Structures are given as C-alpha cells and as structure tokens.
Amino acid sequence: MDLSEINFAVLVASLIVASTPLVLAALGELIVEKSGVLNLGVEGMMIIGAVAGFIVGVETGSAYIGMIAAAVAGALLSLLFAFIILIMQANQVASGLALTIFGLGIAALMGHPYTGIKSPQISTISIPILSEIPILGTMFFQHDLIVYLSLISVLTIWYFLTRMRAGLILRSVGEDHDVAHSLGYRVITIRFLAIVFGGAMAGVGGGYLSLFRVPQWTEGMTAGAGWIALALVVFSGWRPFRLLIGAYIFGGITILQLNLQAIGVNINIAVLSMAPYLATILALVVISMSRFRGNRGAPGCLGRSFVKTI
Amino acid sequence: MFKLIPRENVSPVLSLLGPLFSIGFTMFVGGILFYFLGVDPFAAIKMIFWDPLMSETFSTYSIPQIFIKGAPLILIALGLSVGFKANVWNIGAEGQYIMGAIFGASFALSLYPLESFFIFPTMVLMGILGGSLWSMIPALLKVKFNVNEILVSLMLVYVAEQLLALASLGFLRNPDGAGFPGSRNLSLYSSASNSELIMGTGIHLGVLLSLLMVVFFYVLLFRHSLGFKIKLLGNSPKASGFSGDNPNKLIFLCLTLSGSLAGLAGIMEVAGPAGQINIDFNVGYGFTAIIVAFLGRLNPIGIFFAGIVMALTYVGGELTQFMLNLPAAAIQVFQGMLLFFLLSFDLFVHYKIKLKGKK
C-alpha cells in the first residue's frame, strides 16, 4: 500500500463528480420539503432517472438527451406521488416508501435488456485559462456540463428561496399551509409544482449516475444515494450552500474509501464500503445534537396533509 | 369539483373493502403491465393467485413455500405495524433481520460440533438480541438526540448488508467449504437446525411463532393499556403527553420490539429454509413487510391475511418467472402498485366526498 499513489487534485475532481448526483437530488428534495412535503421516494425517482436516462442516452447516442429523459422520467414518477398525497390525502411517509419500492421495480424491469452496455461518450468542458491553473484547474475547471449546472442550481435555488417573492410564497406554504391558504395562495398547486421539480432533479441526479459517473446500468445502482440525499437535506438545515458542502463531504468519503480499496489498503472492503452510510448517521447525530438549541430549519408543516376546509 | 368531509368514525366496511379493492385494481393494472411485457395477463394473474394453491402440479411445492415466505413477512410486519401506529417509522427491518441471523448463527457455529439441547433456544434468543440491538441504534439516537429514525434505520440496512458479506466471506465462512463463500449449513447441524415440524409441509417453528405473535399483538393492541398508549401517541402526541405517558419510552419500545421480531424472523430463516449465512441471504422481506403491514391495515389479524397474500405473490411470481418468462422485477412492480392503491383508497375510509353545489 502506498498513500502517495493517490493524487490529491484528481481526488478532489473525482469527489466533485461523485457528489454531483447527491447535490442534484438533494436540491430537488430541499424545494419539496420547503413546500411542506416529505417525499421519501427520492431513491425511486433517482433510479428511474438513471434507467430512463441510460436507455434514451444509448438509443439516441447523446448523453445530454439522456439527461433530459432522466428529468422527465423522474418528474413523471413524482406525479404519481403528488396525486396520492395531494389529492388522495395519503400518508406521505408511506407513499414515499411506496414510490421507492415501485421505482426500483420499474427500473429493474426497464433496464434489464441494457445491462452491460456502454453509455455514449461525453466530453468534459475545460474552462479556458482557469483550467490551466496547476492543481486547482484539475480540481475544479475540467468537468462535464452537468457539474457546472449543479453548481449554478445551488446558486439559483439559494437566490430563489431567499431573494424572490415566489420563494417566499413557497416557504410560507411549507411553514403554515392554513395561513398561506387563507392569504389566497394555492397550496395544492404550489406543492404540486415543488414535487414535480423535486422529481425532475432526482431524475437528473440518477441520470448523472448512469450516464456520467459510473457510466453503466446495473440493477439497484443508486445503492442508497437517494436516502443519503434525504439525509443531506436534514444535515444542511434546509440551506442550499450547506447542502453543497455536505454533499462534497459525503462524496469525499465515498471517493476516499474507493481509492483506499483500489490501492489495497489493509482494511476489509466490506468495512470500507460501510463508511458512507456510517458517516451519514454520524452527520445526522452531530447536526441533531447542535440543533437542540432551537435553531431548527425544518418547515413547520413538513409531512402534514393539507385539507381544504374553507 | 368535490369537497372532502372528514368522517367522525372510520368506516369499518370501507376499511375492510380497501385492501380487497386494492388487490383487484392491482390485478387489473398489473394485467395491463403483463400484457405489455408480452405475457398473457389472464394466465399470469391466475398463476400468481390461483395456481400456487389449487393447481395439482404446483401446489405440493408451493403451499409449503407460502408458509416459509409468509412467516417472516408476518413476524416483521407485526413489529413494524406497532411502530407505524405510533408514528415511529422503522424502515430498516431488513438490516435487523440480517443481524438476527448473523448473531444467532455466530453463536451456534461457535459451538459446532457440540450437540446439546440448550443450543437451539439460546441461538433463537441471540437472534432476537441481534435484531433488537440493531434497532436500538436508531431508537437511542431518536430518544437521546432526536435523530430521524427513518434515515438511521435505513442506513443501517446497508451497513448490515456489508456485515453479511464480511461474515459469509470471512469470520463465518465454512472452513470445509473449499473456499466458497457462505457459512456451514445450520440445517445439517442438528442442535441448531430449525427443521420442519411436519415433513413436507414447510411448517417450521417460525411459522408457529408467527401465528402465536398474531394473537400476542392482538391482545397487546386491543386488550392491553400499552396498546392504547401506543395508538394515542400516534393519533395525538399532545394528549399522550397530558395523560402522563413518556413518549421516549414508547418510541424506544416500538423500535426495539420491531427489531426483535425482525431478528427472530432472521434466525428462523437462517437455521431453517435458508440454512446458511451467505451473501444473498436477505431477499427483501424487511421491505415487503412494510407493504404487508399496510395491506393488513396495521391490524394483527389483517397482517396475518396480508402476509399470506404477499407470500402468494412471491411464490406465484416465481412460477410466472419459470413458466411464462415474466421478469422477476415485474412482481416487485406489482407489489409496489398494491401499496399505492392501498394508500390512495384510505381517502374513502377517512373522508366522505361530496360534489360541490350540493348541500
């Protein structure tokens, strides 16, 4: 074993790639939760995005068309969730679980003929001048389009939530749907839009996994990434920038353990593979402990059904 | 368009009809899905729901299989349902099931080849302990630091799966197994074997225990004050607090109870039908049990029937796989669909629907 075999700049670059699906899916869920809805189906929407993106990517030969398909697929699946929790008033926790079980099944069904196929080639976009900076250039400025888009999304969503009127309305619906309703906001419509946005983002996150990161389709390939994305939202205290930092920490742990496996460090592979999941639990504990001082970012109506009474 | 009026009392008729309608709808939509997969929908539905029980060619194999697959589903779902009633969401039963199996099997295999009467009961207790310890992690984190139990219990499934790999490739690997992964076969170790009680029926101790637990949980939920406290915590946490109940104690109890049962299911499976600890030991009972709990309306007797129906879809699903070439994942879709219909149908149980304009 030789730790010097690990190139730090490449490590950072690959941790950014590893974190991007998490960033995308978690940003979507952040918006959903800010509107007061808890969608535990992120894993299901991600895997549907992964499989749909991969299929369309392979058939059209373009990874970017694949990514659009991934977004559409994730959004379509989320429609189902939106319908049963907003119209049929079903329990959100149970419905989210149903979405995950259903999504994993559909994805396995659709993806079966595509196992082992290579995905279309993608090119990285080197940002002129910046990418030539030694070390930093390799780390940050030689990525594919989606990585840059994920960073732009963080900014956009931060701006939307904190600086725009629409973001304020979304938050007020999540904070107290009865008050928002009495002020004349359309709670159901706003939540519907938020859920569909969350579905599209989770789909894109999944598509990034199968088309860019891995890039291949294997059954159950999300391996809990959707759940880690859910944990990230809690970890971030419902703030976009902390979400990004959190995602990069998790990505870092994943990449580090993969690298340690690759150079044959003397720790069992199974133990290393546990690391991201244990880290998630640890992060949740730390954040919940510090959150005891009343500084909770969770929306007031998170997970509660809205019934129009007036 | 329409308006929802909350019912004062949940309609018992609709509450019973819900699961039946959902199964009907799932058959219908599932049939359409099967049609698009190039399989005759009528043959497939018949093969899933009818042939395992009634067909002469299949039933000798499949009826025992229904007991074997139904028992862990019922055991796990019973435990989960109590938590769900209290709004405590243990969705990591799959991990607790694995840990029960690893704990129990490790104990028994450490004594191999000693033959003694005490091994089997202690092994079962160790299995229960394994499951409950694994569920105590989310339980303690929840009551001490208010950490979300859904995420922690789920993360621990992935950790348990890695431990399972570690066990079957490492510390529990059969030393006489020519290097193949997997432990010694517990069913060949007579002091630890959970063998069939009546040959050829598939009925092992776990099946009997699952029936016993149905009765136990019925008494707990409907005849004991603890059951009332649990339901109160779920329906109205405030009222629960006013009546002097300690919510943390109840949350802890709900989680460890479900973990213990998942552990019990795990040890029964590994010492019986599965036989050994191996990488592919867990097949998703812990997740399917969530559907079973809802299909049974979180009621022990309902869960009993729901467990049988779900076991039927597993066994029938295997038949359609062999006979009609239906992909295995189609059954998972089928099960997921069932949960959707069930949850949607709850609307009619809890609300009356009135068209607008009519008073």
Vertex B94: Cα angle to B88 and B99 (nearest 5):
105
* Structural domain harbouring A146: 3-293
- Mean pLDDT across the stretch A190-201? 95
Nearest CA in chain A to B88: A93
Q: For residue B357, what pLDDT band results from cuts at 50, 70 and 90? A: low
Structure tokens at B118: 């005490």
Helix (H) or strand (E) holding A180: helix A177-182
The whole-angstrom separation of Cα A108 and Cα A71 is 18
Residues near A141 by Cβ (< 8 Å), separated by ≥ 6? A126, A127, A130, A131, A133
| Interatomic CA distance for residues B120 and B194, integer angstroms | 8
Least confident range from A55-59, A154-158, A278-282, B191-195: namely B191-195
The CB density around residue B70, as the number of other CB atoms within 10 Å, is 26
Which chain A residues touch B287 with a CB distance below 8 Å?
A: 101
* Number of domains into which chain A is organized: 1
Q: Tokens 């918006």 identify what position?
A: A31
Mean pLDDT of B298-320: 90
pLDDT of residue B265: 96
Looking at the domain assignment, is residue A231 inside a domain?
yes
The model's confidence at residue B270, banded by pLDDT at 50, 70 and 90, is very high
| Angle (CA) A165 A171 A175, round 5° | 140
pLDDT above 50: residue B350: yes
Is cis: bond before B113, omega within 30 of 0? yes
Contacts of residue A59, defined as CB under 8 A and 6 or more positions apart, other chains included, come to none
Q: Which residues are CB-contacts of B144 (< 8 A; sequence separation ≥ 6)?
A: none
DSSP per position, B248-275: HHHHHHHHHHHHHHHHHHHHHHHHTTS-
Residues whose CB falls within 8 Å of the CB of residue B117, separated by 6 or more in sequence, listed in order: B191
Q: Average per-residue pLDDT in chain A?
A: 86
Per-residue pLDDT at B1 exceeds 80: no
In this predicted structure, what is the pLDDT of residue A2?
57
The pLDDT value recorded for residue B359 is: 45
Residue B164 is predicted with a pLDDT of 94
How far is A110 from chain B, CA to nearest CA, in Å? 9
Nearest to residue B261, comparing CAs of B230, B303, B233, B319? B303
Pairing of strands B2-6, A125-126: unpaired
Q: Please, where are the H alpha helices in B181-245?
A: 205-223, 225-235, 237-242
Note the pLDDT of residue A93.
86
**Partner-chain contact A98 B37, CB within 8 Å:** no
pLDDT for the residue numbered A118: 78
CA–CA distance from B340 to each of A85, B87, B291 (Å)? Answer: 10, 19, 10
Is A224's CB within 8 Å of B343's CB? no
| Residue with the larger pLDDT of the pair B114 and B355 | B114
Residue A159 domain flag: yes
Looking at A14-18, A292-296, B198-202, B281-285, which range is the least confident one? Answer: A292-296
Q: Out of A90, A103, A280, whose CB is closest to B344? A: A90
The fraction of chain A above a pLDDT of 90, given in percent, is: 36
Among B2-11, B34-43, B96-105, B306-315, top mean pLDDT goes to B96-105
Is the pLDDT at B126 greater than 50? The verdict is yes
pLDDT number for residue A294: 43
DSSP, collapsed to helix, strand or coil, labels residue B2 as strand
Phi (first) and psi of residue B215, to 5 degrees? -65, -45
CB A267 within 8 A of CB A260: yes
Min distance B55 CA to chain A CA atoms (Å): 28
Yes or no, beta carbons of B333 and A102 under 8 Å apart:
yes
Contact B336 A277 (CB under 8 A): no
Q: Specify the pLDDT at position B5.
A: 78
- Residue A232 lies inside a defined structural domain of this protein: yes
Predicted pLDDT of residue A5? 60
Q: How far is A47 from chain B (nearest CA, A)?
A: 14
Task: Report the Cα B308 to chain-centroid distance in Å.
Answer: 11
Q: Answer yes or no: are the C-beta atoms of B123 and B192 closer than 8 Å.
A: yes
Q: In A67-86, which positions are buried (b, 16+ CB within 10 angstroms) versus exposed (e)?
A: bbbbbbbbbbbbebbbbbbb
A95, A101, A235, A286: best mutation site toward chain B, by most B Cβ within 10 Å?
Answer: A101
User: In the predicted model, what is the mean pLDDT of chain B?
Assistant: 88
Q: What is the pLDDT of residue B54?
A: 82
The pLDDT of residue B253: 93
Residue A135, CA distances (Å) to A10, A151, A158, A213, B344 in order: 8, 20, 29, 21, 54
Residue A43 predicted with pLDDT over 70: yes
Are A102 and B340 in contact by the 8 Å Cβ rule? The answer is yes
Contact B70, B315 (CB under 8 A): no
Tell me whether residue A305 is in a domain: no
Looking from the CA of A107 toward its CB, the CA atoms found within 13 Å total: 32
Residue B133 · residue B99 · CB < 8 Å: yes
Alpha carbon of B94: minimum distance to chain A alpha carbons (Å) = 14
Token reading at A292:
């005891």
Q: Is A293 a residue whose pLDDT tops 70?
A: no
A301 is a domain residue: no
The Cα of A83 is separated from the nearest Cα of chain B by a number of Å equal to: 9
Q: Which pLDDT band, with edges at 50, 70 and 90, does A291 fall under?
A: low
Nearest to B147 among A219, A223, A284 (CB): A284
pLDDT of residue B143: 92
Check CB contact under 8 Å for B329 and A40: no
B330 closest CB neighbour out of A95, A109, A284: A109
Interface test with B, best of A271, A277, A307 (most B CBs within 10 A): A277
What are the structural domains of chain B?
Answer: 38-326 (1.10.3470)
Residue of A39, A43, A51 lying closest to A22 (CA atoms): A43
Residue-level pLDDT at B285? 92
Is A309 a domain residue?
A: no
pLDDT digits (tens, 9 = 90+) for A228-247: 999 899 888 888 998 999 99
CA closest to A272 among chain B residues: B162
Q: Could you tell me the CATH number of the domain that includes residue A171?
A: 1.10.3470
DSSP assignment, residue A121?
P
> Residues B351, A89: contact at Cβ < 8 Å?
yes
Cα of B334 to nearest chain A Cα, Å: 8
Of all residues in chain B, the one with the smallest CA distance to A296 is B146
User: Which stretches of chain B are assigned E, i.e. beta strand?
Assistant: 2-6, 351-355
Helix spans in B37-55 (H): 41-49, 51-54
Query: What is residue B305's predicted lDDT score, i.e. its pLDDT?
Result: 92
pLDDT 10s digits, A17-37: 889 999 999 999 999 999 999
* pLDDT for A292 beyond 60: no
Q: How far apart are CA B52 and CA B308, in angstroms?
A: 12
Phi then psi for A105, rounded to 5 degrees?
Answer: -65, -50
Q: CB distance B340–A91 less than 8 Å?
A: no
The ipTM estimated for the assembled molecules is 0.87
Sign of CA dihedral A175, A179, A181, A184: negative
For chain A, the residue count is: 310
Query: Looking at beta carbons, which residues of chain B come within 8 Å of A104?
Result: 332, 336
Among B163, B340, B347, the residue with its CB nearest the CB of A98 is B340
Q: How confident is the model at residue A193 (pLDDT cuts 50, 70, 90)?
A: very high
Confidence check: pLDDT of A123 > 80 = no
pLDDT at B297: 87
Residue B262 scores a pLDDT above 60: yes
Band (B289; pLDDT cuts 50, 70, 90): very high
User: In this complex, which of A234, A270, A280 lies closest to B162 when CB atoms are compared?
Assistant: A270
How far does the CA of residue A153 sit from the closest CA of chain B (Å)?
25
Q: Which two tokens stand for residue A113?
A: 């003929």
Tokens 């938590």 belong to residue: B83
Calculate mean pLDDT across residues A274-294. 79
What's the pLDDT band for A83 if we cut at 50, 70, 90? very high
Confidence of residue A199 (pLDDT cuts 50, 70, 90): very high
Mean pLDDT of B163-178: 87
CA nearest to B328 within chain A: A109
DSSP-assigned letter for residue B186? G
pLDDT at B230: 87
Q: Which residue of B has its CA nearest to A270?
A: B162
Specify whether the CB–CB gap between B267 and B123 falls below 8 A.
yes
User: What pLDDT, on the 0 to 100 scale, is given for residue B123?
Assistant: 93
Q: What is the largest CA-CA distance in chain B?
A: 78
Give the integer Cα–Cα distance in Å for A280 and B265: 27
Only one residue has tokens 């697929």, namely A73
Give the total residue count for chain B. 359
Answer yes or no: is A308 within a domain: no
What would the two tokens of residue B40 be? 């005759």
